[in-house]
């Protein structure tokens, strides 16, 4: 069963798709549901995805597909988005292209993908496509070094980090070591120790006592500028 807000959102998205062929922007969804911030919209969309009602289309920040509708809303059952053709509403016209919703998140300096260096050197804002972020609070770090290249994380990339203080084995995390230096590595527990693995055969794993390491977030995505 969906919550009231989840039900309102899926109906709003479905109506927009049926009327215009494109999903509403995050700002439009926020205003329609009388939410205080777009993060609330992200949480609702993530919940609807998990329940199989919605799907985000890849490489298109604003594009959403309604997979099914709640039983109580049979009258508004999901319909395929109109396709341009000679008989459609868009005959003779170019359908409106989905706009990219962008969220600004704090950019906290540089982080090592090699030997740990200082992170959190201050904060500017980095615009990020909303589709790259899920639920929760996020920040960005500029990657310095090459120890994570085998995971596709390159020097100069922007690592998008979801704030959390917990991690499971195999998670790529921002690990703060001795409350002083931070590094981006794959996290593993070894009894009372923590192992931070690089993704480059030229580097050795780093091992610390658990009390030396504090998880500050998990990798949620990457931005790369060419």
Q: How far apart are the C-alpha atoms of 140 and 120, rounded to whole Å?
A: 10
Three-state secondary-structure class, residue 101: coil
Q: How far apart are the C-alpha atoms of 50 and 17, rounded to whole Å?
A: 20
User: Catalytic: which of 147, 151, 192, 202?
Assistant: 147
Query: What DSSP state is assigned to residue 58?
Result: T
Q: How far apart are the C-alpha atoms of 157 and 145, rounded to whole Å?
A: 10
- Catalytic (active site) residue 151: no
- Catalytic (active site) residue 38: no
User: Catalytic: which of 185, 192, 202, 209?
Assistant: 185
Q: Which of 223, 42, 199, 50 is nearest to 114 (CA)?
A: 199
Residues near 84 by beta carbon (within 8 Å), at least 6 away in sequence: 90, 91, 93, 94, 95
Query: Which residues are catalytic, by number?
Result: 147, 185
């Amino acid at each position: 069963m969906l919550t009231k807000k989840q039900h309102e959102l899926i109906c709003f998205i479905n109506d927009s798709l049926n009327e215009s062929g494109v999903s509403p922007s995050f700002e439009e969804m926020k205003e329609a549901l009388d939410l205080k911030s777009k993060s609330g919209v992200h949480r609702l969309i993530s919940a609807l995805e998990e329940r199989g009602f919605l799907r985000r289309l890849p490489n298109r920040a604003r594009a959403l597909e309604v997979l099914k509708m709640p039983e109580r809303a049979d009258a508004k059952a999901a319909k395929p988005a109109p396709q341009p053709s000679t008989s459609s509403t868009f005959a003779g016209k170019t359908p409106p292209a989905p706009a990219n919703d962008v969220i600004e998140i704090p950019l906290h300096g540089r982080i090592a993908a090699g030997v740990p260096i200082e992170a959190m050197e201050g904060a500017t804002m980095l615009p990020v496509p909303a589709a790259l972020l899920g639920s929760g609070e996020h920040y960005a770090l500029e990657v310095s070094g090459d120890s994570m290249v085998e995971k596709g994380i390159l020097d100069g990339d922007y690592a998008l980090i979801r704030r959390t203080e917990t991690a499971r084995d195999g998670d790529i995390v921002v690990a703060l070591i001795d409350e002083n230096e931070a590094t981006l590595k794959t996290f593993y527990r070894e009894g009372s120790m923590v192992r931070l693995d690089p993704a480059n055969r030229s580097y050795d794993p780093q091992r610390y006592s658990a009390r030396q390491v504090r998880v500050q977030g998990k990798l949620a995505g990457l931005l790369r500028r060419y």
